[in-house]
Amino acid sequence: MSFFRLNLLLTYACLHIFALWSCQPDTPSTTTSKTFFSVPDFVADQTQFLQQQKIQLDKQLHINQQKEQQHIVQPNWEKELALFANTDINKAAWRDSYQKDSNFVVQDSLWHIDYTARDPHLRTQKISIQRHQQNLHSLSIHNQVNNLFYSLDERLAYQPNKGYQIVSVQNIVLLKADTLRLDAQFVK
């Protein structure tokens, strides 16, 4: 990996961590009963499944105009799925902060469930789930951070047995916007 890519990735990681800590309101970390779909629990189950099945990973990373491909034989699934696992809207203080809407799509036999933030300052703005019978068909997450120095628009998509995608655009005051796209495919 070139110095430029490594430096860009480290910068992206540091800014992402900064955004996570700086833009969240202080809330208790304890959760009560689950009001909404638990993304962390789902990711924990998927992590265990992927490890047990010895699933490999093909990744394509696009940072601005540069592209890199990678095949990982033994992925660290907790690390790979960390952005998904960190999406938890079941904190007690957020019980009334999300609105649930659901409908059934007859032609696809899918339940479509959306959890939409009522507060534009919450990091997780929307979680969309599609279920076929009791199985999760797809999960998508829209995270957004805006403050005086930094903005982040992040779209996460996960499909069991197929893979996941992360698209992130971050703007830092006085710097050019950075775009990151990660496409990951599961390989048996």
Q: Give domain limits for the chain.
A: 3-26+35-187
Distance CA 109, CA 46 (A): 23
Lowest-pLDDT choice from 7-11, 32-36, 73-77, 139-143: 7-11
Distance CA 56, CA 75 (A): 7
Q: Which two tokens stand for residue 6?
A: 């490594």
158: CB partners within 8 A, 6+ apart: 46, 81, 84, 138, 139, 140, 164
Say whether pLDDT at 135 is over 60.
yes
- For residue 123, how many other CB atoms are within 10 A of its CB? 19
Say whether pLDDT at 42 is over 60.
yes
pLDDT at site 109: 81
Distance CA 67, CA 134 (A): 37
Lowest-pLDDT choice from 24-28, 76-80, 148-152: 24-28
Look over the chain and give the mean of its residue pLDDT values, rounded to a whole number: 85
pLDDT at site 95: 85
Lowest-pLDDT choice from 10-14, 37-41, 89-93, 168-172: 10-14
pTM value is: 0.79
